[in-house]
A = this chain, B = another copy of it.
Amino acid sequence: MATRIPLPSGAMRKEPRQARSRATTDAILDAAAHILGERGWAGLTTNAVAEAAGASIGSLYQYFPNKLALIDAVRRRHFDDVLAVLHAAANLETPRASRIAALVDGMIAVHSRHPAAHRVLLEESPRGDDSRGVHDLFGAECKRGYEALFMANTSGMSDHVGIGARVLAGALAGAVHEAARQGALSSPALRQELITLVDTYLSAPRTEAKSRPFGEKSLRR
């Protein structure tokens, strides 16, 4: 594989300010996401990305110091999208149902662009050294977003905010990825079930009592 990491692998070699540069980097990122989804990590070669983007391999390295920085950038873009969805879903000025629908619709929309790429991106793929910073930063941001959403939509108080947010995040992402794998992202039934999933989970009665022994009774509402 090689994966030599000579440079500080910083985000980008040069910020693309010109319109042309911007178009090139976007094309590269799109190509990377596309190939990632289509052929998986094993099929994601820098040369393949460059070719699919209509650029030369040299140009690719003009914008991204190495392969890891490239996929980090793809990931960052995906995080941005997810973050935007989360912010919308945490907006208390809209009714609860709308917020949940916005969350579900947003997640579906986000994953509709490169259906298969995201799971590879999130679940696998090594993180660039820079990512240790950037990725964790965005990961934390996502966590905060989900926690805000969790608190905004949950009725009672709960000391499970951290865990609950992660469970929600994982569950929703998992269900969407699974649907993406089956090519069922656009099914109305999926939408409805996801809403049910999120709605019922967030509606579950919770108390502040720490580690209340779980028993048969607690399962019944």
Q: How far, in whole Å, are A170 and B118 apart by their CA atoms in the complex?
A: 14
**What's the Cα separation between A206 and B200 when bound, in Å?**
12
Compute how far the CA of A1 lies from the CA of B101 in the bound complex, rounded to whole angstroms. Answer: 40
* Of A75-83, A84-92, A178-186, the one touching chain B: A178-186
Q: Which of A10-18, A19-27, A35-43, A49-57 is the contact stretch?
A: A35-43
Q: Check if A193 is an interface residue, CB within 8 A of chain B.
A: yes
Number of this chain's copies in the assembly equals 4
Is A125 located at the chain interface by the 8 A CB criterion? yes
Residues of the B chain whose Cβ atoms lie less than 8 Å from the Cβ of A169: 178
CB atoms of A197 and B184 under 8 A apart = no
CB within 8 Å of B: which A176-199 residues: 176-179, 182, 184, 187-197, 199
Kindly provide the distance from the CB of A69 to the nearest chain B CB, expressed in whole angstroms: 12
A178 pairs with B173, CB closer than 8 A: yes
Interface residues on A, range: 35 or more
Name A147-178 residues within 8 Å CB distance of B: 159-160, 163-164, 166-178
Among A123-166, those with CB < 8 Å from B are 123-126, 159-160, 163-164, 166
Contact B175 A203 (CB under 8 A): no
Residue in chain B with minimal CB distance to A196: B204
Complex CA distance for A167 and B204, rounded to whole angstroms: 18
Given contacts A3-B39, A160-B189, contact A167 B197 (CB under 8 A): yes
A114 adjacent to chain B (CB < 8 Å): no
Q: A179 near B192 (CB under 8 angstroms)?
A: no
B179 engages A175 (CB within 8 Å): no
Q: How far is the CA of A166 from the CA of B187 in the complex (A)?
A: 13
Residue of B nearest to A192 (CB): B214
Given contacts A3-B43, A119-B124, A172-B174, whether A167 and B195 have CB atoms under 8 Å apart is no
Q: With A1-B45, A164-B193, A192-B211 given, name 10 new contacts (CB 8 A).
A: A3-B126, A42-B126, A96-B219, A100-B219, A119-B123, A160-B189, A163-B179, A167-B197, A170-B174, A200-B200
Residues on A close to B: CB < 8 A?
1-3, 39-43, 45, 67-68, 95-97, 100-101, 119-120, 122-126, 159-160, 163-164, 166-179, 182, 184, 187-197, 199-201, 203-204, 206, 211, 214-216, 219, 221
